[in-house]
Structure 1
């Protein structure tokens, strides 16, 4: 059973210590530590950022984080979601010791259920970036209804899910 737990002083060191495999490091745009620091800054600036440890049977196996903000980057200017409030999946990873067991998919599903409840405000879209050569991520996100937008930044492609379509 997968459980998402907020980051606290009791689990922060374990979450920071998680690592992906060497051949996956190019797929990760930021570290867990940096994401937690970003969450602190974003929250201080009034932008909800929600970091979680991913647990199974009391053991931390991964990390994820999402935010709630306006999707207003200039590269989104011609998109239907431009300047609309939305959820953004900032980071998700499963430690190298626990990959291939389905934990990432289960955690992603649990996070989407949380997002679809719109805990921080209404939104039509949820967005994320993934590395263009990460076929595992592409397949996972497509299975949950994410569509590639055609926007590529720093070797990562933006994928969008309309929250009205379950």
Structure 2
């Protein structure tokens, strides 16, 4: 059974100790510790950030984080989603010894269910970036209805999923 839990003083060491395989490090731009620190800073700035530990049968197997913010980066200025509220998936990883067991997909699904309840406020969509060479991630995200926007920043591609189905239809046209 997959469970998403708050990170506390009791489990933070387990979470920050989780690492991906060495050849996957290029696919993940930040560590769990850095993402957790980012969450603290973002929350302090009034941007809701939700870092969570992924547990399988009471064992910490991964980490994920999402934030709630406005997509107002200058590179999005001419996009239909510019200035709209979004849940942005900041980080998701499964520790190397726990990969290949379906935990990532189950945790992603559970996270999307949490996001669809809009815990931090109304939003039209969920967004994320993934490394352009990460075929597994692209396939996983597409299976949950994420659509590539064609926007590339560095080595990452921006994808989004409609929470109300309108924006994806505009992108696909």
Q: TM-score range by the shorter chain?
A: over 0.9
CA distance in 1, matches of 2:14, 2:153: 30
| Structure 2 equivalent of residue 105 of structure 1 | 105
Query: What is the SS of the residue equivalent to 2:145?
Result: coil
| Structure 1 equivalent of residue 119 of structure 2 | 119
- Aligned Cα root-mean-square deviation (Å): 0.6
CA distance in 2, matches of 1:78, 1:150: 13
**1:137 and 2:103 are equivalent in the alignment:** no
How many residues get paired? 165
State the Cα distance separating 1:79 from its structure 2 match.
1.2
State the Cα distance separating 1:81 from its structure 2 match.
1.1
CA distance in 1, matches of 2:55, 2:161: 25
| Structure 1 equivalent of residue 27 of structure 2 | 27
CA distance in 1, matches of 2:78, 2:127: 15
| Structure 1 equivalent of residue 7 of structure 2 | 7
- TM-score, with length taken from structure 1: 0.98
Query: What is the SS of the residue equivalent to 2:33?
Result: helix
| Structure 2 equivalent of residue 84 of structure 1 | 84
4+ aligned runs moved over 3 Å, structure 1: none
1:137-160: CA deviations, max 9, x gaps? Answer: 000000000000001111000001
Query: What is the SS of the residue equivalent to 2:92?
Result: strand
| Structure 1 equivalent of residue 169 of structure 2 | none
Query: What is the SS of the residue equivalent to 1:115?
Result: helix
- TM-score, with length taken from structure 2: 0.94
CA distance in 1, matches of 2:82, 2:33: 29
Structure 2 unaligned regions, length at least 5: 166-173
| Structure 2 equivalent of residue 67 of structure 1 | 67
**1:50 and 2:19 are equivalent in the alignment:** no
